[in-house]
Amino acid sequence: MRRSFVLAVAVVAIVGFAATGIAQDVSTGAVHGTVFDPAIRRIAGASVAVVNSATGFRYQQPTNGQGQFAFELLPPGDYAARVTSEGMSPQLSKTLHVEIGGVTDIAFQMTLAGTRESVTVSAEPKAVETESRGLSSVIVERAILNLPLNGRRFTDLALLTPGVTQDPRGPNSTSNGDLAFGGIRGFQTSYLVDGADNNNAFFAQATGRYRAPYQFSNEVIQEFRVSPNSVSAESGRTGGAVVNLVTKSGSNKFHGTGFYYLRDSSFDASDPFLNVKPADQQHQFGFTVGGLLRRNRVFFFASFDQHIFHEPTVVRFVNGGSVVIPQPGAGPARLPAIMRPATRAWYLPPPHNYRSRQGFIPHSCWATPASPSST
């Protein structure tokens, strides 16, 4: 009876640690590792702590009976780890980078304690996924900010992932199409922002659909992971891929950025098929600011981004002219009797009125994407 009880406790302990290893949210990362003594035997009860380099948040736990530890649900970023054990010298790790949806694995080998002795781990930690869910790629902040993007739409960077193409739109469409992964239409792609669903349920597309120039400013994005196949059940609702985005947050240091981009037709060549050069301008500008409200406790981050368009639409008639010349019809013109008089005037105006509707017609628009703030 006692032997069965001990066996049951051991099974529960093993299952409990395994469950901890996979209890990871899609918008966070994890640090797993093992602590050994000088004879490569596992140390139980060693104290392990990891500290977020930006916010100072500290996470601490002891190793289990197998000398293992697992920190789950860590916000992506840089961390430092420290291990202490009775009779052993403390050890510090190099900087550990935790990626969104990834697991950083590290091992510590303790040494016998000496007088005021401290040992720094020199081996580079390995970022792994203990249970592979298929191919995935992480687009880091450096690529998001530095790679050229026409319109600065961050989702276009997903095209760096193998097997990704853009759904074609109509020949007259001026916006980008949805992203198609592995030949599966773009409306089967799921978008997650900080772990929250960011999909348009009606159209089965990302919020804002392909018609919006962009939804998030590149300045607020820390990194995102593209998982084009074999995603886990926790992601849900997708037959194509999951684009998992995490935004920036404040830190113990005040920081901010400012930017302005100009696109002007005066720098472009004339269209060979037009005898005029329409004025075309785009302005994109904004800023970010972040910092602390209480050190190591409360932070803030906010941003503003606006995109102003002045883009003319040029219409060419089949005969190459610039004026509509009414032609007599085959029979008497008839319009529905219920049509409003103002509408009828557009269909049956006097011929001389057509000339007043030629030339340039002013039109402008602007877009301000939603920018998150966090504490």
Q: Would you kindly state where each structural domain of the chain is located, as residue ranges?
A: 2-128, 133-247, 250-375
- Looking at domain 133-247, its CATH superfamily turns out to be TonB-dependent receptor, plug domain (2.170.130.10)
* Calpha distance 162→185 (Å, rounded): 16
In the predicted structure, residue 334 carries a pLDDT above the cut 70: no
Please state, rounded to an integer, the average pLDDT across all residues of the chain: 76
Model pLDDT for residues 122-138, shown as the tens digit of each residue: 455 555 554 445 567 88
Q: Topology of 2-128 in CATH?
A: Immunoglobulin-like (2.60.40)
Average pLDDT over residues 270-278: 81
2-128 and 133-247 share one fold? no
Model pLDDT for residues 350-366, shown as the tens digit of each residue: 555 555 555 555 554 44
Average pLDDT over residues 274-281: 83
Bridge partners of residue 78, in order along the sequence:
97
